[in-house]
Chains A and B, each alone.
Chain A
Amino acid sequence: MKLAGYTLKLEKKASFTGLEAIVISVVAILVALFLVGFIFLQAGVDPAKGYQAMFTYAFANPFGAPLTINRAVFILLSTFAFIVPIRAGLWNIGMSGQLYFGALTAFGVAYVFGARTSGANLSGAIVIPLMIVGGAIGGGLAGAIPGVLKGKFNTNEIVVTMMLNFIGYWVVAHMIKEGGPFMGSGGEGEGFKLPASIQAPIVSGVSVLTLVIALLLAVLLYVLFTRTRLGYQIRAFGLSPAAARYAGISPFQIALITFVIGGALAGLAGYHYFGTTPNLNQIPKNYGDFGDMAFYGIICGLISQGNPLAAIPLALLFGGLTSGGRYVQGKLHLSYGIDYALLGVLMITLVAFQFFFRYRVVFKKES
């Protein structure tokens, strides 16, 4: 392209650094906020005030901040569920199905201990850890299905995990409604109530146990990818399946292991929300809503480029946007879905900035 004696060219950059990645992400987020400001304007709200209300609620309000953190933990665990297979080049979009199964098995553990019928004095110290492990196993087993199908028959993992999302949803619905075994003894069409004795500890509205678990997992996963044999095999396979196979790495094992780990992490996300938030598990519709929220894990995983530590601030931001967005929508009488609009615009700016990040515009004076 030529402009007033200058040639304009796009040059592909040979490489970029982690710092550049951070700068680009931050700039993209600012631009997205700027653009969504127009939605505020259009609704007759001063964008500065709108954002102030939104972020104050999300990060500094005694009700909003714990909600943000709880959601961030959920999104973070969903992100991990996506990251582990994607580092092997495999797409897990079955976090919602896996977390349904994880929630179900976690409640299965509670059920076995008699939590449905007796509000009894169950020992939290025994049942809570077992519920957590149960949640991970349930999610992991759900993950094993696409893992085996991919590894053995090279079935498209995207299709399989999608289908399992639907199946998971209907299994949940069956279990807690319509006379399923997890149905509460009192009301119709609701799941049983978790006795207070086996409710995971909540401090100032934050589910601290699962928060700590999620942060520990971030470190563990980081170590897995950077230091361990398994992480090496996963990354090698993700970058070049042919070279990995040549080096003796089994595609079947990689598919199975990454999907089981991913599923288990999603199962933990299931436990985190349904096992710690009082009464949330009882209402079938909640499963659909939180299943949808698990998809933010995909966005977070892609932006963080598979880095579990980089995913932490992102999950916090996304958690804040969902809680704060919902809040200002009600408070300032904005049209429905301001949080979704913001997330959508954010995604577009991130993709656009990734482009500039790889290319560089150069002007050259015509000689």
Chain B
Amino acid sequence: MTEIKHGDIVLQARGITKRYPGLVANDHIDFEIRAGEIHAILGENGAGKTTLMSILFGLTRPDEGEIFVFGKKVNFRSPLDAIDLGIGMVHQTRKLISAHSVLENILLGHPRAGAILDLKKTAEEVKALCDVYGYKIDLNTKVWHLSEGEKQMVEILKALYRGAKILIMDEPTSALAPPETKKLLETIQLMTKNELAIVPFITHKLPIVLSVSQRVTVLRRGKIVARLNTADATEQSLAMEMVGREVIFNLERPDVKIGKPVLQVENVSAYDDKEYWATRNISFEVREGEIFGIAGVSGNGQQPLAEVLAGLRKASTGRVLFRGKDVTNLSSLERWKRGIGYIPSEQRAVGSIGEFSLVENLLMSYYYDDLFVKWGMIDAKKVRQLTQELIEEYGVATPSPDVKARNLSGGNLQKMILARVFSRKPRLIIANLPTQGLDVGAMEFVQNKLLEEKKAGAGILLISEDLDEVMALSDRIAPMYEGEFMDILPGGSAQRETVGALMAGHKEKAVGA
């Protein structure tokens, strides 16, 4: 291979097209990537980013189109071909073996691993790589001990050790705490100094795109709609290209009188499914008209806490009061009836039933209501009419209320779930990652709906990984780390850095900040 210079084209795609039944996921995509450049591919959910990425990595075969790597036309039969040519990939979900050590994972699949294992030499080489990028990681730790950010680091190291010159990353920041994101961005920038080409595929977090990339390609519905130099782009202009319409970023926070407590949580602890302690001695309250935000990276006990409050998991200690009455041992059905509305983080697995029509999905919150079910018989007309009204009110894009829920896009499905829960007029709303995986347009909609409910006097418990969202919406913020609240801060005056550090578990740093 000849020496690569800064700005050389290292990878070129021409006319890449991939069709799935009923849709074109990639429609004649042309673009090129240059050495030493960060080239962000931006697009809403379902725009076709992951599809494109897996084509470039040889995981998926395109129906049409050509790929050139270092000027040569290639025909990938499998990712191995792509890896051999110097393409590395960091997937959205980690692909490491958790019972193995960092070093073993890095070595796994390396051509040299087939021959004699020279662990010592490998360790030295990997250490040298770590030094270059300022990674501090013990190569002998088992992977399951690592945080999300560290695991990602291992995947990057693995790709680099395999000799990657082009590094493709799918949603690299989605599971990271703010300090880890910062670290990742620094590393990426260092890598480009060594003429590596970096291609992150990103759904939102527009500020990140703006802060690190040199060029941006925007995908919408499988087509490229914009190619820009980042210097010429703004957050607004990028959002507009992605969504195809204007998006307003400033949420208007309504002035709402904070009332009586609707939810009081006293010393609640719970186990997770593996019977480990998941939340420990959590106490807080949520008042009428208040948004109480829990900020944290997923897996720090938010889910079990939400489930305890929704009646889907037993509290091991403590008690829960709803509007002054003890509801600790009430069934989830009884809680729905009393006015607790839960928006689960898993839209498709929990919040909806894919094989059910939208009408039947709405019934999930109405089958117990005697106004809609008489003598055990469902008043289908009435439910259908309500569904239709809600579809209109919430602007759900669907040809009919009889469409199956699985055919809705993520954003539309979430709208339908909100419509179902909010139409019950809950006094307490538990919103677990309500904007996760949504595109900017849908995200804006969901956040505004939450604010509307706040205005209507509901108490809202907002659980989110997105620091910006928590900061923008919450009246009080509790950063959560390893099952505990690190603090409870007033929303208006809390510092972004403080909350970010606390949710990553850094108590000392937070004090100084």
Chain A contact residues, CB within 8 Å of chain B: 11-14, 227-230, 232-233, 235-236, 239-240, 242-250, 367
Residues of A within 8 A of B363 (CB): 232
Q: Are B21 and A13 in contact (CB under 8 A)?
A: yes
B18 vs chain A, min Cβ distance (A): 13
Determine which of A11, A14, A229, A243 lies in contact with B353 in the assembled complex, contact meaning CB atoms within 8 Å.
A243
A240 vs chain B, min Cβ distance (A): 5
Q: Are A242 and B364 in contact (CB under 8 A)?
A: no
- Select from chain B the residue with minimum beta-carbon distance to A245: B312
Among B21, B64, B336, B352, the one with the most A-chain Cβ atoms within 10 Å of its Cβ is: B21
Residues of B within 8 A of A14 (CB): 21-22
Residues of A within 8 A of B342 (CB): 246
Interfacial residues of chain B within 322-341, with CB under 8 A of chain A in the complex: 331-336
Contact A250 B333, CB 8 Å, known A14-B22, A229-B367, A243-B364: yes
Q: Are A248 and B353 in contact (CB under 8 A)?
A: no
Interfacial residues of chain B within 348-386, with CB under 8 A of chain A in the complex: 349-356, 360, 363-365, 367-368, 373, 376-378, 380
Bits for B22-39, please: 1 = Cβ < 8 Å to A, else 0: 100000000000000000
Cα distance A243–B345 in the bound complex, in angstroms? 12
Residues of B within 8 A of A230 (CB): 376
Residues of B within 8 A of A229 (CB): 367-368, 373, 376-378
Q: Are A248 and B378 in contact (CB under 8 A)?
A: no
- Select from chain A the residue with minimum beta-carbon distance to B337: A248
Residues of B within 8 A of A11 (CB): 21
Q: Are A248 and B336 in contact (CB under 8 A)?
A: yes
Known: A227-B380, A246-B310, A248-B333. 15 other contacts (CB 8 A): A14-B21, A228-B376, A229-B373, A229-B376, A232-B363, A232-B367, A240-B353, A242-B346, A242-B350, A243-B350, A245-B332, A246-B364, A247-B336, A248-B334, A249-B333
Residues of B within 8 A of A228 (CB): 376-378
Cα distance A247–B352 in the bound complex, in angstroms? 9
Cα distance A248–B344 in the bound complex, in angstroms? 13
Residues of B within 8 A of A243 (CB): 349-353, 364
Cβ contacts A to B, 16 pairs, < 8 Å: A14-B21, A227-B377, A229-B368, A229-B373, A232-B367, A239-B354, A239-B356, A242-B346, A242-B349, A243-B353, A245-B312, A246-B312, A247-B365, A248-B332, A248-B335, A249-B333
Cα distance A230–B373 in the bound complex, in angstroms? 11
Determine which of A227, A236, A246 lies in contact with B356 in the assembled complex, contact meaning CB atoms within 8 Å.
A236
Q: Are B365 and A227 in contact (CB under 8 A)?
A: no
Residues of B within 8 A of A246 (CB): 310, 312, 332, 342, 344, 350-351, 364
Residues of A within 8 A of B331 (CB): 248, 250
Residues of A within 8 A of B64 (CB): 367
B313 vs chain A, min Cβ distance (A): 11
Cα distance A209–B199 in the bound complex, in angstroms? 73
Residues of A within 8 A of B380 (CB): 227
Q: Are B378 and A227 in contact (CB under 8 A)?
A: yes
Residues of A within 8 A of B353 (CB): 236, 239-240, 243-244
Chain B contact residues, CB within 8 Å of chain A: 21-22, 64, 310, 312, 331-336, 342, 344, 346, 349-356, 360, 363-365, 367-368, 373, 376-378, 380
Determine which of A233, A240, A248 lies in contact with B349 in the assembled complex, contact meaning CB atoms within 8 Å.
A240
A56 vs chain B, min Cβ distance (A): 43
B330 vs chain A, min Cβ distance (A): 11
- Select from chain A the residue with minimum beta-carbon distance to B349: A242
Contact A239 B355, CB 8 Å, known A14-B21, A246-B350: yes
B369 vs chain A, min Cβ distance (A): 10
Residues of A within 8 A of B335 (CB): 248
A84 vs chain B, min Cβ distance (A): 16
Cα distance A236–B365 in the bound complex, in angstroms? 12
Cα distance A315–B84 in the bound complex, in angstroms? 59
Q: Are B360 and A232 in contact (CB under 8 A)?
A: yes
- Select from chain B the residue with minimum beta-carbon distance to A246: B350
A100 vs chain B, min Cβ distance (A): 31
Residues of A within 8 A of B364 (CB): 236, 243, 246-247
B439 vs chain A, min Cβ distance (A): 23
Residues of A within 8 A of B350 (CB): 240, 242-243, 246
B336 vs chain A, min Cβ distance (A): 5
Cα distance A248–B378 in the bound complex, in angstroms? 17
- Select from chain B the residue with minimum beta-carbon distance to A12: B21
Among A14, A246, A367, the one with the most B-chain Cβ atoms within 10 Å of its Cβ is: A246
Cα distance A14–B19 in the bound complex, in angstroms? 14
- Select from chain A the residue with minimum beta-carbon distance to B346: A242
Cα distance A250–B333 in the bound complex, in angstroms? 8
Cα distance A232–B383 in the bound complex, in angstroms? 13
Residues of B within 8 A of A242 (CB): 346, 349-350
B52 vs chain A, min Cβ distance (A): 21
Residues of A within 8 A of B344 (CB): 246
Among B21, B353, B355, B365, the one with the most A-chain Cβ atoms within 10 Å of its Cβ is: B353
Determine which of A245, A247, A250 lies in contact with B367 in the assembled complex, contact meaning CB atoms within 8 Å.
A247
B387 vs chain A, min Cβ distance (A): 14
Cα distance A232–B379 in the bound complex, in angstroms? 12
A308 vs chain B, min Cβ distance (A): 17
Among A235, A240, A243, A250, the one with the most B-chain Cβ atoms within 10 Å of its Cβ is: A243
Residues of B within 8 A of A248 (CB): 331-336, 368
Residues of A within 8 A of B377 (CB): 227-229
B164 vs chain A, min Cβ distance (A): 32
A294 vs chain B, min Cβ distance (A): 29
Cα distance A242–B349 in the bound complex, in angstroms? 7
Cα distance A317–B351 in the bound complex, in angstroms? 41
Cα distance A229–B378 in the bound complex, in angstroms? 6
B84 vs chain A, min Cβ distance (A): 25
Cα distance A13–B21 in the bound complex, in angstroms? 8
Cα distance A243–B346 in the bound complex, in angstroms? 10
* Nearest 6 CB-CB pairings of A with B: A248-B333, A247-B364, A248-B332, A240-B353, A229-B373, A246-B350
Cα distance A235–B349 in the bound complex, in angstroms? 15
Cα distance A230–B351 in the bound complex, in angstroms? 20
Cα distance A245–B360 in the bound complex, in angstroms? 15
Residues of B within 8 A of A250 (CB): 331, 333
B339 vs chain A, min Cβ distance (A): 13
Residues of A within 8 A of B355 (CB): 239
Cα distance A247–B312 in the bound complex, in angstroms? 10
Cα distance A129–B104 in the bound complex, in angstroms? 73
Cα distance A230–B331 in the bound complex, in angstroms? 18
Residues of A within 8 A of B368 (CB): 229, 248
A152 vs chain B, min Cβ distance (A): 15
Among B64, B334, B355, the one with the most A-chain Cβ atoms within 10 Å of its Cβ is: B355
- Select from chain A the residue with minimum beta-carbon distance to B363: A232
B190 vs chain A, min Cβ distance (A): 43
Cα distance A132–B351 in the bound complex, in angstroms? 43
- Select from chain A the residue with minimum beta-carbon distance to B352: A243
Cα distance A243–B334 in the bound complex, in angstroms? 16
Residues of B within 8 A of A236 (CB): 353, 356, 360, 364
Residues of A within 8 A of B373 (CB): 229
- Select from chain B the residue with minimum beta-carbon distance to A231: B378
B234 vs chain A, min Cβ distance (A): 39
Cα distance A46–B414 in the bound complex, in angstroms? 62
B337 vs chain A, min Cβ distance (A): 8
A334 vs chain B, min Cβ distance (A): 44
Residues of A within 8 A of B354 (CB): 239-240
Residues of B within 8 A of A235 (CB): 356
Residues of A within 8 A of B312 (CB): 245-246
Residues of A within 8 A of B356 (CB): 235-236, 239
